[in-house]
């Protein structure tokens, strides 16, 4: 169970994962040794799963963000596992979620431009076994893009 100090650590690290242990300890009003031990425990117990750098997609020629609804032609365990395994190997796919509702998966992908998206859609996504239908939504503006979640 997490206490208030653990939650403070998680909140601060979600905002800036590059903080030194000394700066983190100062921010949450804890000794550096105690702070280090808590972060170590939070990592060991799986509350903190890693750290990453946030990159500017435009600088890497990945300016187009799209969401794709994917409907499979059958909803069998094999169809689900085959689709999921294939999507995990697609570098364009940032996220893929199985959802309840009118379609099976919601895919978030990032590519250079619409021409690159057409290639990705035709050569990769719709050519997967069991994909019956897709609906694409190109992002015109990222109104809010938050990495962490409220805790």
pTM value > 0.95: no
Asked if the model's pLDDT at residue 39 lies above 90, the reply is yes
Q: How confident is the model over 56-102, as pLDDT tens digits?
A: 999 999 999 999 999 999 999 999 999 999 999 999 999 999 999 99
Q: Which burial class, exposed, middle or buried, applies to 25 when counting CB atoms under 10 A from its CB (0-12, 13-18, 19+)? A: buried
Q: What is the mean pLDDT of residues 10-35?
A: 96
Q: What is the mean pLDDT of residues 35-43?
A: 98
**pLDDT at position 17, please?**
94
Q: What is the mean pLDDT of residues 109-123?
A: 97
Please report which residue ranges of the chain form alpha helices under DSSP H: 4-15, 21-28, 32-44, 77-88, 114-119
* 64-96 b/e (C-beta count within 10 Å ≥ 16 → b): bbbebbbebeeeeeebbeebeebbeeeebbeeb
The domains found in the chain, sorted by start residue, are: 4-45 (1.10.10.10), 57-138 (3.30.70.920)
With cut-offs at 50, 70 and 90, classify the pLDDT of residue 147. confident
With cut-offs at 50, 70 and 90, classify the pLDDT of residue 122. very high
**pLDDT at position 21, please?**
98
């Amino acid at each position: 169970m997490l206490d208030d100090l653990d939650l403070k650590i998680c909140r601060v690290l979600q905002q800036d994962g590059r903080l030194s242990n000394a700066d983190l300890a100062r921010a949450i009003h804890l000794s550096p040794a105690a702070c280090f031990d808590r972060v170590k425990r939070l990592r060991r117990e799986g509350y903190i799963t890693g750290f990453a750098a946030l990159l500017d997609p435009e600088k890497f020629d990945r300016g187009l963000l799209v969401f794709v609804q994917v409907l499979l032609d059958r909803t069998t365990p094999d169809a689900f596992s085959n689709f999921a395994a294939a999507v995990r190997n697609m570098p364009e796919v940032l996220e893929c979620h199985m959802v309840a509702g009118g379609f099976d998966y919601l895919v978030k992908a990032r590519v250079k431009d619409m021409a690159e998206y057409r290639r990705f859609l035709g050569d990769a996504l719709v050519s997967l076994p069991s994909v019956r239908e897709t609906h694409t939504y190109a992002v015109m503006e990222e109104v809010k893009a938050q990495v962490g979640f409220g805790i």
